[in-house]
Amino acid sequence: MRLVVDRLGKEFPKAKGETLKVLDDITFSSSEEETIGILGPSGCGKTTLLRIIAGLEKPSTGEVLLDGSRVDSPNPKMGMIFQEYSLLPWLNVAENVSIGLEIRNASEEERREKVERYLSLVGLQGVAENHPYELSGGMRQRVAVARSLTLEPAMLLMDEPFAALDPQTRGEIQESIIRLKEVTGKTIILVTHSVEEAVFLADRLVILSARPGRIHKIILVDLKRPRDRASEEFVSLRVQVLNLLSDLAVASKADR
């Protein structure tokens, strides 16, 4: 599954016929089974970029191609995981996870098999009959991941999916995402404010400048796996990216 973002731009209408330019001339591509982390100052258009990739927003200029086909609407080959869990409280875990399969009229046997498989993959065996209110925040987010996986997309798009979690739970789910990628080989596009998370999960980092978001730099994360957050190489790269983002934020304030 190859994603190409080609000269993408996005403007939103304002009052009196004016426009607000959020993204400008964004170009990058993903390789098979690659994880790309998207970082940048607040307001630089990271989430807007991900929503355009997902087909949830239309670009003003440029295009998104998935295996050569233009993305103009949500594509079943891509699964979107949001920061909010968006679980239905009146349904149990199994029913929440299988809701997409039900919409697709999958058989009861297929729904049961996939629910068991993907709950196990995200480390949630034994909670299928529980309701969301009975789960911790981290468990609810795992349910949201499992729900996306049941539709078996080739690519996962993640918009700050772990931001609301405590550091320990966040680290545990990051480890789960690593295992998931090893098992499924999916391409992952991750928007995050956490530099440590991006360096831990990603193969490349796409750094956006302040609004309008442009690609400031693309960084190869050439660290062996499994990654050690305390290693000299990891800490050095994390500090490098933090300094880069800090410089971009300072430059943005100076331009106002």
Contacts of 66 (CB under 8 A, 6+ apart): 1, 2, 3, 4, 75, 77, 78, 155
pLDDT at residue 161 in the model: 85
Distances (CA, A) of 253 to 10, 213, 214, 240, 244: 22, 14, 16, 20, 15
Residue ranges of the chain that CATH labels 3.40.50.300:
3-77+155-255
Indicate the pairing of strand 3-13 with strand 61-66: antiparallel
Residue 53: count other Cβ atoms within 10 Å of its Cβ. Answer: 26
Q: Which residues pair with 232 in a beta bridge?
A: none
pLDDT at residue 188 in the model: 96
pLDDT band for position 223 (50/70/90)? very high
Whether the pLDDT of residue 119 is over 80: the answer is: yes
Mean pLDDT of all residues belonging to the chain: 93
- Is the peptide bond prior to 74 cis by the omega test (within 30 degrees of 0)? no
Q: Residue 26 and residue 228: Cα distance in Å, rounded?
A: 31
Provide the whole-model pTM: 0.92
pLDDT at residue 165 in the model: 86
**Who wins on pLDDT, 253 or 231?**
231
pLDDT band for position 85 (50/70/90)? confident
Q: Residue 73 and residue 65: Cα distance in Å, rounded?
A: 11
DSSP run (H or E) holding 254: helix 232-255
How do residues 153-190 score in pLDDT, each as one tens digit? 999 999 998 888 888 888 988 998 998 899 889 999 99
CATH level 3 topology of 3-77+155-255: Rossmann fold (3.40.50)
Q: Residue 197 and residue 178: Cα distance in Å, rounded?
A: 11
pLDDT band for position 207 (50/70/90)? very high
Question: Average pLDDT in the 218-232 region?
Answer: 96
pLDDT at residue 164 in the model: 80
Question: Average pLDDT in the 248-252 region?
Answer: 81
